[in-house]
Amino acid sequence: MSLTLNDGTKIDLMEFWPSDPGKAPVAHGSVAQRMLNNGFNVNSLRNCDVLHYEEWLEVDRVVVDEAQLRLQAVGDLISAGLTVPTKGLGKTVFASQKISDITDAEITMDGATPTDKDRPLISTDYLPLPIIHKDIEISARMLAASRSEGYEPMDTTNIRLATRKVAEKVETILLTGASSYGFGGGAIYGYLDFPNINSGSLTADWDDSTATGSTMLADLLAMKQASIDARHYGPWDVYLPTNYDTAVDDDFKAASDKTIRQRLMEIGGINNIKVADKLTADYIVMVQKTPDVVRLVDGMPLSVVQWDQQGGMVFNYKVMTIMVPQIRSEYSDRCGVTVYS
C-alpha cells in the first residue's frame, strides 16, 4: 500500500502483506511477547486470525485515504523528502547536533601562513518520539454479522474516524507544537511554539475590514525580510489559517485583474501559499523547507494493529504512528521559521 499525494508523490507504507495471501502471519503469544519476539515490529500484530486478507486491504485503503486528506503541512515535508527514518518502537529519543560557525578563510600569496585553527562548538538536542494513537473495538458478533451472507466489506467507519484523529494530531503538532510534552531531556515543538522563530505583528488581521491587498503584501514582505535577516534565504512555503482563506481571494485592489493570493505568489522565493486548517487563527507561518530548518522524524507510518480480549469476544484495533516534527535552528539560534500574528 502507498499514499499518493496531490502532487503525484508516492509514499510507501508498511510492507506487510506477502505476495501470497495464504502465507500471511498468524498470531502467537501475548501482545507484548509478539512485539518483543519481532523486534518491536508492529507487523506482528497484523494477522489473518480475525480479519480476512481482503478486510485488511480495506482497512489500509481507509487509512491511506484519510491520511491524504488530513496531512497537509506534514504531507509537504514528506513530498519534499524532509524525513528522517528511525528504528520504530525500539527508539524513544532522537538525538541531533548543532554546530557553530568558524572564522572566515584568509588570503595569502604563499599559502604557508597559518590561519586561525578554531574548532566549532557543538551542542546536542534530544527529541522525544512518542506514539500518537487512537483505540477502537469491534465485537466478534458484529464482525460475524457483516459476514452472515457471504463476504461483505466490514464497516470501517470507526477506523476512518480514528485515523482522522491521529492524522489531525500529527498535523497539529507540526503547526502549533506540543512543548508541554517532555521526555528524555527534550520537548516537541511546532512552528508556533519553537523558541527561536522570527516573530512579528501583522499590520491588521487579514480577515478584518481594515486589511487591504497592499497591507497583506507589506506583511508578507516583512516576513520574508525577517527570514533573510536570520540568514535564511528561501524558498519559502506560507501557511494561512482557515479564517484568512477567503480574504486572500478578494481583489488585490478595486477592479483588479488579479486576487490578493495571485499577487502574493508573485513575491520572489514564495513557492506556495496554503491554508492549513489546524493552524491557529490569525497566525501566518513562513517556512524555508530545508533539512536544517525542519524535518519529520518517521519512526512508524500510520498503521492499524489488532489484538483480542474477553476470550476473543472483543477485538481491539489501534491506529498508531510515530511521526514527530523536528524544528531546527543554528547554533547561534538563527531559524528559518517566521511567524506573524
Q: What is the pLDDT of residues 291-332, one digit of tens each?
A: 999 999 988 887 777 666 665 566 777 788 888 999 998 888
More confident position, 118 or 339? 339
Q: How far from 138 is each of 155, 161, 265, CA to CA, in Å?
A: 10, 14, 48
Maximal C-alpha separation, the chain: 89
User: Is the pLDDT confidence value at 139 over 50?
Assistant: yes
pLDDT tens across 44-80, in order? 555 555 555 556 565 666 666 666 666 789 889 988 9
Least confident of 89-103, 170-184, 213-227: 89-103
Give the pLDDT score at 166: 86
Estimate to the nearest angstrom the gap between the alpha carbon of 65 and the chain centroid.
16
Give the pLDDT score at 161: 81
Would you list the DSSP string of 253-265?
STT-SSBHHHHHT
Give the pLDDT score at 175: 95
Give the pLDDT score at 294: 93
CA separation for the pair 76, 326 (Å, rounded): 14
User: Is the pLDDT confidence value at 226 over 90?
Assistant: yes
Query: Any idea what DSSP says for residue 125?
Result: E
Give the pLDDT score at 27: 38
pLDDT-derived band of residue 193, with 50, 70 and 90 as boundaries? very high
More confident position, 256 or 151? 256
pTM above 0.85, yes or no: no
- List residues bridging with 199 in a β-sheet: 339
Cell numbers representing residue 87 in the block: 528504528
Kindly list the structural domains of the chain, giving each domain's residue range(s) and its CATH number in brackets, ordered by start. Answer: 31-95+125-190+294-327 (3.30.2400.20), 198-292+332-340 (3.30.2320.10)
Give the pLDDT score at 13: 43
More confident position, 66 or 177? 177
For residues 262-289, give the mean pLDDT: 94
CA separation for the pair 47, 330 (Å, rounded): 45
3-state secondary structure of 73: helix
